[in-house]
Chain A
Amino acid sequence: MSERPPRADPAVPPQLTPAGGPAADLAVEPGEAPPLDTAPTPPGTAPNLLDSLPPGPIPPAAAFSAAQAEPCLAVRDLAVSFRTRGGTVKALEQVGFTVGRGEIVALVGESGSGKSVTAYALMGILDAAGEVTAGTAQFGGTDLLHAPERTLRGIRGRDISMIFQNPRTALNPIRPVGKQIADVLIRHGGAGRREAPAAAIEMLRRVRITDPERRARAYPYEMSGGMCQRVMIAIALACRPKLLIADEPTTGIDVTTQAVIMDLLTGLARESGVSALVITHDLALASEYCDRVVVMHAGHVVEDAPVRDLFAHPRHPYTARLLAATPTGHASLADLASIPGSLPDLRRPDLPACRYIGRCDRALDSCQVSLQRREIAPSHLVACNNPL
């Protein structure tokens, strides 16, 4: 891991605006740099989608360094709420983070902390009861949260693709998986009808599906959970996205296959500048394969740091608890400690400034009314009045 070649340089923080006060945001101003080029690749230069996958031709890494100042995705001040019978759920508030080009960012946090809702909001596929009430998400000159549906339809599935948390329900149950991949290749990957089936089989092979020629004809119900997951990954990569949003991409996949898939993803990031937002519960996975980690709690971003800093020195009390709850070298189950308390009810009209206050052993009186968000170390952001 220490030998990992540099991707997006985490030491180049995208124009950070360290600031205090309750209204300050962890997120970043996108700045005035020219927008990222989202024009489709000219047909002549995209003969085969597999070229974008290792071991295809590798564009020089230097080609991306110029673009690094301009992140691939800059989310700022995002707020989402859901109308429910019991009141309005303030699922996200002031969520901000950036994903640099070729950078792999992990989004971690407890169940219900708002990771999937963040992804859905970015993809414009929130549940009908949900609404984006504030914020911007700059992606190559387009604000994903406010662009017209027609623009978004062009971006989704081509420039940004998503791997869903429930792979089986995201696949079409009555179409063989090979055809489903070929469909995407034809629609978004520049493949012709003739070569698409063979390219689909090749994609299956790359995500380690055994006997891909024959398994291409299988229906989703005929595949194991982990195999459906890998089919989803193949579909998501088929269209050569600039940004991949992966909701628990390797949950339900064994560690040896997980290694292959994460190698594939990190290879794409390194060699083709693909950026990825990887939603995961698995801090060990984040630690081995991601560049930066964004920690969410109850709809807030509480910490955002390069992976090494975060694990070596977590600054938010919640992050430290999260680490302590992760099974690694523990001797017995009794040594594992869950995080005391539970997420606050996000329907409460009087949510405290820091939503962790009810569970925190370092809380100050001020945490009820204001929350300081600051850059505590280079590109290490924390939202806490009394950080570790």
Chain B
Amino acid sequence: MSETLPLLDVAELSRQFTVRGTTGGLLARLRGGAAAAPKLHAVDDVSFTIGRGETVGLVGESGCGKSTLVRVLTRLLDPTSGSIRLGSQDLTHLPARRFARRPERARIQMVFQDAGESVNPRYTAFDAIADPLRRLRRLRGAALRSRVETVATQCGLPLALLPRFPHQLSGGQRARVGIARAIAVEPELLVLDEPTAALDVSVQVVVLHLLARLKQELGMSYLFVSHDLNVVRLLCDRVLVMYLGRIVEEGPAGAVFANPRHPYTRALVEAIPQIGAEGAPERIRLGGEPRSPIDPDPNVCRFYGRCPRGFARCAEQMPPLHEVGPRHRAACHLVEGG
């Protein structure tokens, strides 16, 4: 039955990038490995699902692979290995380029991390929002105009700004164009890569309320990438925590924030800045040298070296995800056995 299928099912997904440079090549040759160029493991063996109508948050250190993961999911990048299913459709082997022009494209839409960069500088705000409606919904004329104006209004974008070009808009105004553009075709899965990063708090509230409403009205699902953990806590049902390409913790948002089990998640939750933190405890800073994502040792925990609680075993065995509560898992030797 299709109702029991999750909307998105990602299994053992990896994406690597080849790193240029002589040092790596030389090292590899010294180690005896033939001409093996060093590989950056941006996404490493990631599995998760998103249910219909579910909002899943994706958080983690800058550079840990969140954007790469969502670019692979939305088929802007090809995976190195693993599989991606959207409902009953296998997206894994659709070449990235072809997918962009297919009508199924409307089923997954994406709001990019850097709205200023992803908006075509020669498109007015109107054209940017109209573009997917023209391509994927074949709307023209009055129907097109009215749909564009509806979504612009839904996103709190004054209609007077529609004839403007990106450089005539503030950062936050551009971000709203990006969101309006993505929801225009009413996708089933909306992938948002830091959609509110450029927004001020007031517009952010409007957008968060809008996302919550669209989710209720249209049953849309979200994968929501954000560094603002206060927002993730309020918006998301479930959270995935990534560290250096791997998921290190996942679980219901409430449980993960109230009772983080992985030492990295703990450090993250403790570092959330608070207003008027006068008298607040000094923030714990993660010390140590982060491990390299380039050809990482498959038998060492990725957090080892920075982990305040690391011990010998962490350097000998990569911890798997352990069950620590209902639908709550963490990849740390310390939580083995719950």
Binding site for B on A (CB under 8 A): 1-3, 82, 84-86, 109-113, 116, 127, 165-166, 168-169, 208-211, 213-214, 217-218, 222-227, 229-230, 248, 251-260, 263, 281-285, 287-288, 308, 311-312, 321-323, 325-330, 332-333, 336-339, 342, 345
Contacts and interface: CB of A to CB of B under 8 A. Distances in A.
B294 A211 contact: yes
Q: Which 4 pairs, one residue from A and one from B, show the smallest C-beta to C-beta distance?
A: A111-B172, A226-B62, A211-B292, A284-B273
A114 B49 CA distance: 42
A153 B179 CA distance: 38
B62 A224 contact: yes
B129 to A, nearest CB: 18
Given A111-B172, A263-B285, A325-B204, 12 more contacts: A1-B277, A3-B282, A111-B200, A168-B117, A218-B19, A252-B194, A255-B273, A257-B62, A281-B198, A284-B230, A322-B201, A327-B234
B116 A338 contact: no
Contacts of A332: 234
Given A110-B203, A327-B231, A254 B275 contact: no
A52 B201 CA distance: 35
Centre residue among B167, B200, B228 by max chain A CB count within 10 A: B200
Nearest to B67: A224
Contact of A333 (B173, B212, B278): B212
Given A254-B59, A255-B273, A214 B206 contact: no
Given A322-B202, A330-B234, A127 B167 contact: yes
Contacts of B273: 255, 258, 282, 284-285, 287-288
B214 to A, nearest CB: 13
Nearest to B19: A214
Contacts of A3: 282
Contact of A255 (B194, B206, B268, B292): B268
A211 B66 CA distance: 19
Nearest to A223: B63
Nearest to A129: B168
Contacts of B14: none
Contacts of B218: none
Contacts of A339: 202
Contacts of B38: 214
B114 interface: yes
B198 A248 contact: yes
Contacts of A285: 273
Given A214-B19, A263-B285, A227 B202 contact: no
B202 to A, nearest CB: 4
B231 to A, nearest CB: 6
A245 B60 CA distance: 27
B278 A255 contact: no
B171 interface: yes
B113 A281 contact: no
Contacts of B170: 111-112, 116
A283 B276 CA distance: 9
B10 interface: no
A358 to B, nearest CB: 13
A171 to B, nearest CB: 11
Interface in B216-235: 227-231, 234-235
B91 interface: no
A1 B200 contact: no
B277 A287 contact: yes
B271 A2 contact: no
Given A223-B63, A252-B197, A338-B205, A258 B271 contact: yes
A310 to B, nearest CB: 10
A3 B280 CA distance: 10
B163 to A, nearest CB: 8
A218 B280 CA distance: 39
Contacts of B63: 209-210, 223-224, 226-227
Interface string B79-109: 0000000000000000000000000000000
Contacts of A214: 19, 21, 23-24, 38, 292, 294
B202 A225 contact: no
A332 B235 CA distance: 8
A84 B124 CA distance: 14
A337 B205 contact: yes
Contacts of A227: 62-63
Contact of B274 (A112, A259, A328, A336): A328
Contacts of A254: 59-62, 227, 268
B178 interface: no
A333 B268 CA distance: 21
Contact of A338 (B24, B202, B293): B202
Nearest to A325: B201
A308 B277 CA distance: 9
B36 interface: no
A232 to B, nearest CB: 13
Centre residue among B62, B167, B200 by max chain A CB count within 10 A: B62
A18 to B, nearest CB: 26
B327 interface: no
A260 B280 CA distance: 17
A311 B203 contact: no
A322 B166 CA distance: 26
B309 interface: no
A84 to B, nearest CB: 7
A241 to B, nearest CB: 23
A287 B275 contact: yes
Nearest to B62: A226
B18 to A, nearest CB: 10
A338 B206 contact: yes
B283 interface: yes
A166 B114 contact: yes
Contact of B230 (A82, A226, A321, A328): A328
Nearest to A333: B234
Contacts of B234: 327, 330, 332-333, 336
